[in-house]
Amino acid sequence: MDKGIDSNVDKVISNIYTNENVYATGRVTRVNKYNIEVSGLNDVSFYEAIDVNHKASGYVMGIYANKIIVSLVEINEEIVPGDIVYALKKEFKCLFSPDSMGKVIDIFGHDLIAGKSFEKTVEVPLENPTIPIMDRTAVTREFLTGIIGIDLMYPIGKGQRQLIIGDKKTGKTQIALDAIVNQKDKKMICIYVAIGKTKKEVKDIYFELTKRGAASYTIVIASFNDELPTRTYLTPYVATSIAEIFMMQKYDVLVVFDDLKKHADVYREISLTSKKTPGRDAYPSDIFYTHSRLLEKGAQHIGGGSITMLPIVETKSGDITDYISTNIISICDGQLVLSAKSFARGEKPAINYGLSVSRLGGNVQTPDMKKVGSKLRRELLSYLEVRSVYELANIDEMSKELQKKMRDGKVMVNKLKQYKFSPRTKEEMKAEFAFLFEESTDLEKKINDSDGTHSSSDGNYQEKDHSNTSLNIEKN
Amino acid sequence: MQMVGKIISIFDISIEVVLSSDNVKVGDILEVVDDPNYRFEVVEISNTSATCISLGSTRGLKKGLDVKILSHGIHVEYSDKILGRIFNSYGIPIDKRKIESVKTRRTDHPTTTLQELNIESQILWTGIKVIDFFAPLQKGFKMGLLGGAGVGKTVLIKEIIHNVYTSLNSNAIFTGIGERSREGQELYSEMKKSNLLDKMAMVYGQMGDNPVSRSKAVYSGLTMAEYLRDEKKQDVLLFIDNIYRFIQAKAEIATELKQILIGNGYPSDMASEMSKIEERINSNQNGSITSVQAIYIPADDLTDESVQTIMSYMDGQIVLDRKVAELGIYPAIDVFNSTSKLVDVEKIGERHFSLVESVLKTLTRYNELEEIITVLGIEELSEEDKLIFYRARKLRNYFSQPMFVAEAYTGIPGEFVKIDDVLNDVEAILNGKYDDIDESKFLFIGKVS
């Protein structure tokens, strides 16, 4: 008994001598924006939480023989070399409160609109391990956005990652907000992640969602453009860890990342600051992995829950073939491409139907929607293609079939226009496009009756006369 | 096994170990004593220390931990037990079932020698019109499958698996490198559903995994393919989706190891690392390995250094094009850039060869005409050009095809089209036999009946 106490006392004393009492400590030797070097801290683990003299906090991101590198995520006061550093003997984690629903929060358990900390919080890891292949099941359940062009032609399923990509001011965020608002009474939890946005933008979005009654099931997790890049960088990962908590409790979760181009730029800044060798466009070599491991958390889990992801990427002058865009396109299960041209024409939502893709397609639609959707998509794409070739031709001189196609095409494009926050139900969508089926059967009958004479577009074009075209223009 | 050293530094996936033993070699797998979650591969040694890369996450790892040698290199199962199973990059089954190992083999293996190499073989028809016509395959071929993001690459790979599999009757290996886990899961359950699973093995190092895992999947998959070729004397099909991700993973590792990189951040040993893989994918006296390797094109840039490096090993290429996909024509193949070494009068015969030439001629003219039409309108074309214009559009539509694995998207049942039918149909379209039939009737059909 005595021996036990003795050995305990000896252990504590020896711990004090070796700085292993409660917290290990070291000293700051170098400060570089949000990375600091610390010496004297020997017994730390990778990603351990670190406190710098109550002035700043962060985590271990490098361990060397004679120093460690700490990445800071919160700096309240200026740090100077010589400041004492505490290793907190636990993995660095963020905080999340179960009371966050309907609030704008950050990743440290603060309610930003009320300007205070939550009372009840749970710890959330920065990242969880990847979801194993065998813990996933097929993505088959529909996720309805209420937008006709999406739900019918480029459907999204629960557990799908669908990219929204386009230039500034083409309505990218609006599509995501429409999708959130349409989840009312659908038992979805929505998480809107603002990455490096302005405070004004975030407050606008928050009010918009509250006004539309979406706040009761939505959490806005925000990082602002004037915050530490390290914090902005972590925000989408922590948001995903939060989404995973819900998924494991069998909830269906929607996560919107607005936007990942900004995230890539922030990560580039961090990498270059820590002197990593740059690759294409000065992005670090692991920029793909940065986004792939984030977006791979979008899944239909075998337990029943799911995480649907709508990442947003901003492009310049409509170029979706730049490095970051193609990376993220190659990770996602499809993309909705928004076009500035359609936007200017008033064809809103300004979806470029030719470039948009859903890799899951009909798999996530109910048979009735699939039937209308695949027909509409075929007809519309074929119209859009024909339109570009025959735009200059006189419609009166066209074959009956082509005339019909041009007329139907215009109707389709008009019917796809939709105001913001005016979701349609599946029934409304199907009813709108029922005409595709009625008339096409009529058309086929007509062609059969006339023994295919109308179906040869060659014949009709040969008679075309140039003077007719100009005459027609004058009449108009 | 006894301990061989202590961890001295950790930075992301790169770990430095101070050695207390001279038993450690490059390629050895080290493990933290009493914690199998932390495993490393030795990539460089000096007389006092070893630089390692971590096979998994390094989160929670500490300086000063003891390490031991786990094995010399990564070993995977080298027996029939691989069939019907799904493995991670390190040869560990991930389908929640135990494996009763018969025999294992190290995944790094010498390349095929000139003496062993066999280059004689037969044509392998895929039943996909546009591939068989423009870029036919041969046993032992390496076909590159190029395409930017989201133009239907993976669907085409699945279709080839489906079609060639049913005709060749030998086992296949699917290696997923840096691609979507969702697709891994889907391929697994689709193969299971169609009772093909027990005739193939899958290896996955997907895009959520760390770069070391993504860089190792190809070696494990290759070793399994070699087993089927050398021990079971088969004509093996090896699918690699996506080989670019291998170089990408290598680039990430090189960055972490602070190696000097070449342009666009690629590792300087990219070409020699590729050779070590591609020179193993060959035919020998035992059998053949026919491989279809998807190649992702970063930033839609075909001149990318790594894409060019990979291409130099290929016997042919199938190029997917976003512009064709935009027209709603699938498989969205760019026929001008898709070809194979088989497209030669002596190999596919006079008729097929001259048809390929005339089709390309017609389609080239069509592209020129399209520009004229945009400016002047269609009525300005000569009679002859009008015929070319309409026939070219029919041809273009004809080379779309309903695919078995895309039935869910299109709602049209898939079709396997014999090459003789393709040649007859193409000839008939070119000769004007179908001038009276509307061009839309050629879209998503098998053969013209």
CB–CB of B436 and A452 under 8 A?
Answer: yes
Residue numbers of A between 457 and 476 with CB closer than 8 Å to B: 457-458, 461-462, 464-466, 469
Q: Domain boundaries in chain B?
A: 3-72, 76-340, 348-442
Pairing of strands B66-72, B3-11: antiparallel
Report the topology of domain B3-72. Answer: Thrombin, subunit H (2.40.10)
Helices (H), B205-286: 211-230, 243-256, 270-278
Mean pLDDT of B215-219: 96
DSSP-derived letter for residue B435 is T
Q: What is the pLDDT of residue A468?
A: 37
**Tokens 């220390």, residue located:** B49
Structure confidence at residue B1 as a pLDDT band (50, 70, 90): low
Check A458 against B386: CB less than 8 A apart.
Answer: yes
How sure is the predictor about A369, in pLDDT bands with cuts at 50, 70 and 90? very high
User: For B78-103, what is the mean pLDDT?
Assistant: 93
Residue A14 has pLDDT above 90, yes or no: no
Chain B residues 50-89 within an 8 A CB cutoff of chain A? 57-64, 86
B10 interfaces chain A, CB cutoff of 8 Å: yes
User: pTM for this one?
Assistant: 0.84
The two tokens of residue B264 are 């666009």
In chain A the domains, ranked by start, together with CATH numbers, are 2-91 (2.40.30.20), 95-365 (3.40.50.300), 370-475 (no CATH)
Q: How far apart are CA B408 and CA B427, in angstroms?
A: 32
Establish if A25 touches chain B: CB-CB under 8 angstroms.
Answer: no
Residue A15: count of CB within 10 angstroms of its CB: 13
> What is the C-alpha to C-alpha distance for residues A57 and A249, in angstroms, rounded to an integer?
31
Q: Do B63 and A381 touch (CB under 8 A)?
A: no
Residues of A in contact with B57 (CB under 8 A): 129
Question: What are the backbone angles phi and psi of residue A190, rounded to the nearest 5°?
Answer: -110, 135
pLDDT for the residue B149: 55
Minimal Cα distance from A281: which residue of B? B264
Range B88-107 average pLDDT: 93
Using CA of residue A321, residue A319, residue A168, residue A278, what is the dihedral sign?
A: positive
Q: Is the pLDDT of residue A458 over 50?
A: no
Dist. CA B295–CA B145, nearest whole Å: 6
Residue of B180, B276, B347, B386 marked catalytic: B180
Q: Which residues on chain B are in Cβ contact (under 8 Å) with A351? A: none
Q: How long is chain A? A: 476
pLDDT band at residue A308 under the 50/70/90 scheme:
very high
Nearest to B279 by CA among B89, B41, B79, B116: B116
> What are the tokens at A419?
């105001």
pLDDT of residue A137: 94
* Among the listed residues B179, B205, B184, B219, the one whose alpha carbon sits nearest the alpha carbon of residue B76: B219
CA-wise closest residue to A94 among A237, A228, A224, A254: A237
* CA distance linking residue B229 with residue A175, whole number of Å: 52
pLDDT of A450 > 70? The answer is: no
Chain B residues close to A70, C-beta within 8 Å = none
Q: What percent of chain B has pLDDT over 90?
A: 63
The answer to which of A451-465, B26-40, B68-82, B177-191 has the lowest mean pLDDT is A451-465
Mean pLDDT taken over chain B: 90
Residue A13 pLDDT exceeds 60: yes
Q: What is the DSSP letter of B225?
A: H
Q: How many Å apart are CA A462 and CA B263, to the nearest integer?
A: 55
Determine how many CB atoms are found less than 10 A away from the CB of residue B20: 15
Catalytic residue positions of A?
359
Question: For position A439, what pLDDT does the model report?
Answer: 57
pLDDT of residue B131: 94
pLDDT in tens, B381-403: 899 999 999 999 999 999 999 98
- For residues B275-285, average pLDDT: 92
| Min distance A22 CA to chain B CA atoms (Å) | 17
For A418, residues 6+ apart whose C-beta sits below 8 A from its C-beta are: A147, A148, A149, A348, A349, A424
pLDDT at A4: 64
Q: Cα separation of A349 and A174, whole Å?
A: 9
Q: What is the pLDDT of residue A474?
A: 35
Measure CB to CB from residue B8 to each of A65, A134, A354 and give the nearest one: A65
Q: Mean pLDDT across the stretch A318-345?
A: 91
Nearest to A296 among B208, B373, B390 (CB): B208
Does any CB of chain B come closer than 8 Å to the CB of residue A10? no
pLDDT attached to residue B198: 83
Selected residue with higher pLDDT from A452 and B293: B293
Contact assignment for B58 to A46 by CB distance below 8 Å = yes
**From residue A432, how far is each of A144, A147, A152 by CA, in Å?**
17, 13, 11
Buried b (16+ CB within 10 A) or exposed e, B30-65: bbbbeeeebbbbbeebeeebbbbbbbbbbbebbbeb
Residues 6+ apart with CB under 8 A from A179: A143, A145, A146, A147, A156, A254, A256, A310
State whether residue A446 sits within 8 Å of chain B by CB.
Answer: no
Residue A430 contacts residue A370 (beta carbons within 8 Å): no
CATH no., domain B348-442: 1.10.1140.10
Mean pLDDT for A12-24 is: 65
Measured CA distances, A181 to A105, A142, A200, B210 (Å): 19, 16, 20, 36
Separation between Cα atoms, residue A269 and residue B146, nearest integer Å: 32
- Yes or no: say if A440 and A372 are a contact pair by the CB < 8 Å rule: no
- In angstroms, the CA B207 to CA B184 distance is 11
Cross-chain residue pair B62–A44, CB shorter than 8 Å: yes
Asked if the model's pLDDT at residue A472 lies above 50, the reply is no
What is the model's pLDDT at position A17? Answer: 66
Tokens of A377: 């998509």
Match 């996602």 to its residue by tokens: A332
Question: Which residue is associated with the tokens 């029934």?
Answer: A427
CA–CA dist B6, B27 (Å, integer): 18
Instruction: Note if the bond before A259 is cis, omega within 30 degrees.
Output: yes
Whether residue B252 lies within 8 A of chain A, CB to CB, comes out as yes
Q: What is the C-alpha to C-alpha distance for residues A241 and A71, in angstroms, rounded to an integer?
A: 20
| Domain B76-340: top CATH class | alpha beta
The reply to whether residue B11 touches residue A64, judged by beta carbons under 8 angstroms, is yes
How far the first Cα of chain A sits from its last, in Å, is 107
pLDDT of residue B377: 74
Q: Name the more confident of B80 and B198.
A: B80
What residues of chain B lie within 8 A of the CB of A61, using their CB? 11-12
| Cα separations in angstroms, A336 against A147, A176, A312, A379 | 12, 11, 10, 19
DSSP count for chain A of H helices, then E strands: 15, 20
**Which of A48, A22, A26 has its CA nearest to residue A37?**
A26
Encode A159-177: b = buried (16+ Cβ within 10 Å), e = exposed: bbbbbbbbbeebbbbbbbb
A395-446 pLDDT, tens digit each: 777 777 778 888 888 899 999 999 999 999 999 999 999 988 875 545 444 4
Q: Are B157 and B128 in contact (CB under 8 A)?
A: no
Looking at residues B64-86, what average pLDDT do you find? 94
Contact yes or no for B63 and A331 at CB 8 A: no
Of B76 and B183, which is predicted with more confidence? B76
What mean pLDDT do residues B365-393 have? 87
What pLDDT is stored for residue A10 in this prediction? Answer: 77
Place A169 in a pLDDT band, splitting at 50, 70 and 90: very high
Bond prior to B267 in cis (omega within 30° of 0): no
Query: Which residues, numbered 312 to 371 in chain A, qualify as contacts with chain B under a Cβ-Cβ cut-off of 8 Å?
Result: 321-323, 326-327, 329-335, 354-355, 357, 359, 361-363, 370-371
Residue the block writes with tokens 């599946």: A426
Q: What is the pLDDT of residue B162?
A: 81
Q: Where are the alpha helices (DSSP H) in B377-441?
A: 383-398, 407-410, 419-431
For the stretch A372-383, pLDDT in tens is: 998 898 889 888
Mark residue B64 as left, alpha or beta (left: phi above 0; alpha: psi -120 to 50; beta: remaining): left
pLDDT at A447: 44
**Average pLDDT across chain A, whole number:** 86
Q: Which of residues 270-289 of A touch B (CB under 8 A)?
A: 276-280, 283-286, 288-289
Q: Which of B94, B154, B435 sits opposite A133 (nearest CB)?
A: B94
Tokens of A341: 């041209």
Rounded CA-CA distance B415/B404 in Å is 7
* Cβ atoms of B179 and A292 closer than 8 Å: no
CA neighbours closer than 13 Å in the CB half-sphere of residue B427: 10
Q: Is the pLDDT of residue A453 over 50?
A: no
The answer to whether the beta carbons of residues A189 and A251 sit under 8 Å apart is yes
Q: Which of B438, B441, B443, B445 to mutate to test the interface with A (most CBs of A within 10 A)?
A: B438
Other beta carbons within 10 Å of B258 = 13
Q: Do residue A288 and residue B58 have CB atoms under 8 angstroms apart?
A: no
B132-187 pLDDT tens trace? 999 999 988 999 988 755 677 767 877 887 887 777 777 899 999 998 999 889 88
Q: Give the distance from residue A161's alpha carbon to the nearest chain B alpha carbon, in angstroms.
A: 10
Q: Are the CB atoms for A236 and A222 separated by under 8 Å? A: no
**What ipTM describes this predicted complex?**
0.81
For the question of residue B365 being annotated catalytic, the response is no
The B residues from 403 to 432 touching A (CB cutoff 8 Å) are 408-411
| % of chain A at pLDDT higher than 90 | 66
- Shared fold status for B3-72 and B76-340: no
3-state secondary structure of B22: coil
CA distance A216 to chain B (A): 31
